[in-house]
Structure 1
Amino acid sequence: MKQNVGGIDRILRIVVGVALIAAAATGTVGAWGWIGIVPLATGLIGWCPPYAIFGVNTCKTKTEG
């Protein structure tokens, strides 16, 4: 798996994922808040299946030189 999630995208995914999980764990939102596991996981591993399918890549490209 080649990483396709980078930088700010990863940070936002992790923050949103943790916030949703915390809200679900405290009962602030319903059980749907556990969906926060998905953005948390994709942020931590740096790979998103829909990005791979649609050819999206938010990682910085390395320039040779």
Structure 2
Amino acid sequence: MEKNVGGIDRTGRIVVGLALAIAGIAALTGYWAIGAVIGVIGVVVGAVLLVTGTTQKCPINEAAGIDTTTDDSR
């Protein structure tokens, strides 16, 4: 799989992923009372966003034919 996540998309995924993961962990540890199920969802979605942002590879983007990288040499 080639890289298909770049620029603002990559930055947004990393920032939102970190925020969701932290919020989910806070919910799971009882620091934030929004529920354990919401906490688990936050951690999972946050982790997926962090992985796709840091690896710059997203299977959903690939399936949809979306490429947000700025490399036009392909």
Distance 2:11 2:48 in 1: 14
Name the TM-score, length of structure 2 as normaliser.
0.77
Q: Which residue identity lines up with residue 15 of structure 1 in the other structure?
A: V
Any stretches of 5+ residues in structure 1 without a counterpart? none
**Percent identity among equivalent residues?**
43
Aligned length: 63
Any stretches of 5+ residues in structure 2 without a counterpart? none
Write the deviation string for residues 6-65 of structure 1: whole angstroms up to 9, x where unpaired: 0111000000100000001111342211121011100000010011111110001345xx
- When the two chains are superposed, the root-mean-square deviation of aligned CA atoms in Å is 1.3
Provide runs of 4+ in structure 1 moved above 2 Å. Answer: none
Distance 1:55 1:16 in 2: 23
